[in-house]
Structure formats: structure tokens, C-alpha cells
């Protein structure tokens, strides 16, 4: 019984991690209030959760804002691109649905919009974790996020399911009862917990493209090559963790 309340016990470690996820979720929510920075917040969120999954030394607030600052420009552009594509697909679908009787190919356009929406969901699920982990241009980051999502399709299904389940349960409870204790739970943990769970999958995926001697090689932006197909692709240099930076400064 005494060991249960020891600082190194499983209970205290779990509570410590839960507290870190609460803080991380709060940071993500606050930094997403200007909607334009939501993508940057998700990038910083995954940067921290992937460190937590790897049991690396993690300072939640410092690491979050370090990644937020590092990825601010690319994260905003990628988010705007995704929102723009999503808006076009939504408007196109609504127009076709409202004019099915007058536009002969309306049904085909609606199906095409739904197929594109599926690819957009896959892209959105992967692109911010990829941005958090790898140095690259916006174009190449988005390209490799899509290729990863297709190549690791079973894990992609699991990732999207985890992303949706928290929100789906909360919305279902609100619809049935008018109010639910799950709503504040979603506000407190609804972004960080799914991201933490997904990070186990992303770490397994990304490890396939990172050399074993990552920490010894992170000095150049051209050294790490991600191979997604038979020919080498263009994702270089895993983004250095705080420990990597300290080692290089010594």
C-alpha cells in the first residue's frame, strides 16, 4: 500500500502524465483561438506527445512553444490550404446536391467531392505530425503526409477513428441528454488524449524512415532521406529534440 503512493509508482506516473496532457490540451485550445493558428497548435501538440510516448525528457510548456514558434509560418500556410480545399469541396457538394435535377452530372460530382474529402481527411490526420517531426518544404511535407497515409492505411484508419471517437461520444451524449459531463472532459482532454494515443502509431510509422543513429546525425538539413516508394523521396533531417540540441552545444 505504501508503494502505491510512492512518487515512482504507476499511479503517480499516470497522474503526472494526465496533468501534463491537461496543460497541453489547454495550450492547444488557447493557441487555436485565432483560428488561423490552429494548425500550428496541432503541430506543437504532436511534437510534445511524440516526445512523451518515447519517454524523452519533456517540458510541456517550453517544448510546446518551441515547436509553435519553429513551425509558425509553415503551419499557418498548410492550415489555410487545407481549410481552403475543404471549403471548396463543401460548397461544390452543396451546389451539386441542390441542383441534382438540373445538372446531369451532379451525382458524379458529388461522389468525386466525397472521394476528395476522404483524401483531405487523411492529409489532415498526418500533415501536422509530419511537420512536427521532419524538416521540409510545405509542398514536400504535404506530399509525404499523403503518401504515408496511403502506405500505412490500416494505421490511418485507427488514427482517424481515435481522432473522431472523443468528439462523437460527446456530441452523442449532448444530443441525447441536452448536457453531459463529457463536454467539459472534452474541453480538458479532448485534443491531447487522442493525440497522445495516436502518437504511439505515428512513432511506429516514423521510425521506419529515421536512421537508428538519428541523434548523432541531426546536424544537417540534407542528411535524412525518407523513402516512401521505390525511389528515394525528399524528407530530410528529423527535427532535433531538446536533448539533441544540448548534445550539439556541448
- What does the H/E/C string look like for 146-160? HHHHHHCHHHHHHHH
Burial of 217 (0-12, 13-18, 19+ CB in 10 A): middle
Instruction: Please report, for the chain, the start and end positions of each structural domain, with discontinuous segments joined by +.
Output: 2-245
Cell of 34: 485565432
Main-chain dihedrals φ then ψ at residue 237, nearest 5 degrees = 50, 105
Tell me how far apart the alpha carbons of residues 201 and 196 are, in angstroms, rounded to a whole number. Answer: 9
Nearest of 95, 78, 9 to residue 42 by alpha carbon: 78
Q: Tens-of-pLDDT digits for all 250 residues of the chain?
A: 555 555 566 676 788 888 899 999 999 999 999 899 999 999 999 999 999 999 888 889 999 999 999 999 999 999 999 999 999 999 999 988 888 878 888 888 899 999 999 999 999 999 999 999 998 899 999 999 999 999 999 999 999 999 888 777 766 666 665 555 666 766 777 889 999 999 999 999 998 887 665 444 443 333 333 444 433 344 444 554 444 333 333 3
Tell me how far apart the alpha carbons of residues 68 and 42 are, in angstroms, rounded to a whole number. Answer: 9
State the Cα angle at 47 between 45 and 48, rounded to 5°.
70
Specify the pLDDT at position 107: 85
- Are 166 and 193 within 8 A, CB to CB? yes
Tell me how far apart the alpha carbons of residues 85 and 87 are, in angstroms, rounded to a whole number. Answer: 5
Q: What is the pTM of this model?
A: 0.80
Nearest of 27, 14, 21, 38 to residue 61 by alpha carbon: 27
The neighbouring-strand residues paired with 134 are: 238
Local structure of 238: helix, strand or coil: strand
| 116: Cα within 13 Å, side-chain hemisphere | 16
> CA 13: distance to chain centroid?
24
- Are 248 and 146 within 8 A, CB to CB? no
What do you get for the CA distance between the two ends of the chain, in Å? 43
Amino acid at each position: 500500500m505504501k508503494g502505491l503512493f510512492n512518487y515512482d509508482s504507476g499511479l503517480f506516473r499516470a497522474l503526472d502524465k494526465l496533468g501534463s496532457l491537461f496543460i497541453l490540451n489547454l495550450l492547444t485550445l488557447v493557441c487555436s483561438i485565432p483560428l488561423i493558428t490552429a494548425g500550428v497548435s496541432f503541430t506543437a501538440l504532436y511534437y510534445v506527445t511524440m516526445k512523451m510516448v518515447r519517454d524523452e525528457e519533456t517540458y510541456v510548456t517550453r517544448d510546446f512553444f518551441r515547436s509553435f514558434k519553429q513551425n509558425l509560418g509553415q503551419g499557418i500556410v498548410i492550415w489555410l490550404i487545407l481549410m481552403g480545399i475543404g471549403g471548396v469541396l463543401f460548397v461544390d457538394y452543396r451546389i451539386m446536391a441542390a441542383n441534382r435535377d438540373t445538372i446531369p452530372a451532379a451525382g458524379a460530382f458529388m461522389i468525386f467531392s466525397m472521394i476528395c474529402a476522404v483524401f483531405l481527411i487523411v492529409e489532415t490526420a498526418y500533415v501536422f505530425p509530419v511537420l512536427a517531426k521532419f524538416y521540409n518544404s510545405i509542398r514536400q511535407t504535404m506530399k509525404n503526409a499523403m503518401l504515408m497515409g496511403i502506405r500505412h492505411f490500416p494505421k490511418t484508419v485507427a488514427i482517424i477513428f481515435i481522432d473522431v471517437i472523443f468528439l462523437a461520444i460527446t456530441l452523442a451524449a449532448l444530443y441525447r441528454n441536452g448536457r453531459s459531463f463529457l463536454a467539459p472532459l472534452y474541453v480538458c482532454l479532448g485534443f491531447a488524449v487522442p493525440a497522445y494515443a495516436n502518437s504511439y502509431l505515428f512513432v511506429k510509422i516514423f521510425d521506419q524512415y529515421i536512421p537508428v543513429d538519428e541523434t548523432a546525425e541531426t546536424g544537417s538539413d540534407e542528411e535524412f532521406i525518407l523513402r516512401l516508394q521505390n525511389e528515394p523521396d525528399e524528407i530530410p533531417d528529423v527535427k532535433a529534440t531538446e536533448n539533441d540540441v544540448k548534445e550539439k552545444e556541448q
